[in-house]
Structures are given as structure tokens and as C-alpha cells.
Amino acid sequence: MTKYDEIFENNRRWIAAKTATDKEFFEKLANEQRPDYLYIGCSDSRVPTNEIMGLDAGEVFVHRNIANLVNNTDLNVMAVINYAVRHLQVKHIVVCGHYNCGGVKAAMQPADLGLLNPWLRNIRDVYRLHKEELNAIQDEHARYNRLVELNVQEQCVNVIKTAAVQQSYLQNQFPTVHGWVYDLRNGELKDLKIDFERVLHEIQEIYDLTGEGLMKK
């Protein structure tokens, strides 16, 4: 476990390493950010966002919360999506869950978790939507793993429901939305290969916010 004071020593070493290979590393970043990616992931400390993607500072705009949820009444995540799409003009939005997610596991416990109840209720909603598929999985661990994947899928759908994403895609053909799952046991990133175009069209039957009605064709 790293001691508190070591953090600042680590920071000095990190600055030295960064400037050793690129003298203007910090000057360049201080001017502006132009990330192509918005990453929405779980707050879990075992998922080091930039590291698993091999991306450096300035390359990914990040939002994290318990169990990587995209809730339409959460001003925080909605502001992040809006800013990333309309101002940063990111090309890709990733929702990344992970196996062994404590949030997903907690959501399925028959227990009162206080403040976490309304937050984790979103995951129970995902379970309800996919109850038949999930209940058919005998092995409990496999069922949780599948719930992690389905949760990512449904949060991608929530991203696609936003006006910012629909309007930007209509005008610019970006961003596209991707669902990933990170495996804590071996470090692997799995692309769930969500068919963005198909989901977008399905969603817009009911959630069209483009004001154009063009995407239904």
C-alpha cells in the first residue's frame, strides 16, 4: 500500500519521466484537450482507465461512477456527455463495465443498502428487462457476468437516448457508442460489438430527439 507522502514523490518522478521523452509534454496539454474518446466506467480502483486503453493524458475524457450507470436524471453524467459531444466533439463513446463488479453484485442482494438503493435500482431494472435470459443461466457466477454485460448494453442504450448523441450523429456521423467489459482476472478488454446503427434506429422509434425524423427511414 502506498503511503500518503509517497504520492508526491511519485508525482515528481512522473513529471521527470514525461518531460524526459517530451520536453513540452505539459505545455502542449495545458493549451487544450482534443480527446477522441469519452469513457464512462465503474469507479472500481482495479480498473485503471487510461492504462488499459494504452492512452495518455489528453486522449480520453472520463466519467466514472458505481457500476458505470447512465441515468437520465443524473445531472453529472448528462453534463459530461453533453460537453464531450457538443464541445469536445468526441468520435467514440465507450461504456465500460467489468466482471466481478461489486455494484452489480450488491444490486442483486436482498438487502436495504440505504443511499445505494435508488442508484443500484437501475441494475435491477436491467435484470427485469432481461429476466428470462438471466434466469435461464444456472451458474450464479455466469449469471452475474452476463448481468454485467447486459448492464453495459443498457447503459449504451441510455447514452443513445440523449439529444446530444442523436443530433451530432445526424449531422456529423459521430460519435458512435461502444460497450466494453474489462476482465479483472487477466486484464482483457472485451468489445460487446453493439450494433450502434441498429440500436440508434430502434431507439429513435420512441426516443427521437433530433427534430428531424430522418433517422427512422
Query: Is 96 among the annotated ligand-binding positions?
Result: no
* 37-42 vs 189-191, strand pairing mode: unpaired
Beta carbon of residue 103, minimum distance to Zn ion (angstroms, whole number) = 5
Nearer to Zn ion, 42 or 200 (CB): 42
Task: Report in angstroms how near the CB of residue 39 gets to Zn ion at its nearest.
Answer: 14
Q: Is position 42 an interface residue for Zn ion (rule: CB under 5 A)?
A: yes
Binding of residue 154 to Zn ion (CB under 5 A):
no
Q: Does the annotation list 42 as a binding residue? A: yes
Q: How far apart are CA 192 and CA 55, in angstroms?
A: 20
What are phi and psi for residue 124, nearest 5 degrees?
A: -65, -35
Nearest CB to Zn ion, comparing residues 151 and 168: 151
Q: Which of 87, 65, 66, 86 is nearest to 76 (CA)?
A: 65
> Quick check: is 98 catalytic?
yes
Smaller CB separation from Zn ion, 44 or 208:
44
Q: Does 101 bind Zn ion (CB under 5 A)?
A: yes
CB nearer Zn ion, residue 101 or residue 181: 101
Give the count of residues interacting with Zn ion (CB under 5 A). 4
* Residue count (the chain): 217
Contacts of residue 204, defined as CB under 8 A and 6 or more positions apart, other chains included, come to 166, 210, 215, 216
- Centre a 10 Å sphere on the Cβ of residue 122 and count the other Cβ atoms it contains: 19
Q: Is the dihedral of CA 21, 33, 12, 45 positive or negative?
A: negative
Active centre residues (catalytic) = 42, 44, 46, 98, 101
Q: Which residues are annotated as a binding site for Zn(2+)?
A: 42, 44, 98, 101
Residues contributing to the site for Zn ion (CB under 5 A): 42, 44, 101, 103
